[in-house]
Amino acid sequence: MHPELPGWVERVISIPRFAPYLDALSGNRLVAWDLYQWNVQVSEAFYGPLNCLEICLRNAEHDRLRNRFGTDDWWRVAPLDEYEAAKVTAAKQKLARKGVSLPSADDVVTELSFGFWVSLLSRRYDRRLWVPALHRAFPYYSGRREALRDNLQTMVLLRNRIMHHEPIHHRHLTADHAKIYRLLDYVEPQFAGWLRAFDRVPAVLTRRPERTRH
């Protein structure tokens, strides 16, 4: 007897959300279900490395910018464009809704998104932030700012897909994983070494479901 897909799967997960897994496996419902479960597991495993990358990036940039502008709340005096300035305002408003009426600089830094920190590496900040300060946040990097920014942006997109429970099984996840460590190495190789000790991504990648199931 061949096992059947649990009847609640498409009802609870929804047919539109299950469809990408069916499409990836030519309509094989059982293997698609295996792939869906594996997608949850590999997304969970990636959370740790991506969390470390985000924290590493924001703290490295924050340190360089407060040194450059001589104040912990450097966004008050830094030449931010309207988009990034609005992100800072939104972070303060979110803190206020949480009851933090007088947020510290660290409170604001924590509230700012991964995407915000990557946006500070955009071309428009080349002369204002990158040249005078932010290149020092990556002491082990010798390439071009554009390439660094683009690589970090791909990690923002991966992080967002994971946090919004989207499929990531179609990505070259081995390359994504290697990119995280390469980016961490640009800031602090010892931090990357510490992360490897408990990183579960390599083990989960080996358990990707086969295309057939009997």
Kindly tell me if the per-residue pLDDT of 209 is higher than 90: no
Task: Give the pLDDT of residue 211.
Answer: 64
Q: Which residue in the block uniquely carries the two structure tokens 């009851």?
A: 99
Taking each helix axis from N to C end, the angle separating 29-69 and 145-163, rounded to the nearest 10 degrees, works out to 130
The predicted structure's pLDDT at residue 3: 62
pLDDT at 213 exceeding the cut of 60 = no
pTM score over 0.85: yes
State the chain's mean pLDDT as an integer. 92
pLDDT at 32: 86
pLDDT of residue 22: 77
Running DSSP on this structure, what letter comes out for residue 38? H
Give the residue among 33, 28, 17 at the shortest CA–CA distance from 165. 17
pLDDT at 49: 98
pLDDT tens digits for 16-57?
Answer: 888 888 777 776 788 888 899 999 999 999 999 999 999 999
Report CA 97 to chain centroid distance, whole Å: 25
Q: What angle do CA 146, 67, 114 make, to 5 degrees?
A: 45
63 vs 187: CA distance, rounded Å = 12
State the distance between the two ends of the chain, measured CA to CA, in whole angstroms: 10
Residue 122 has pLDDT above 70, yes or no: yes
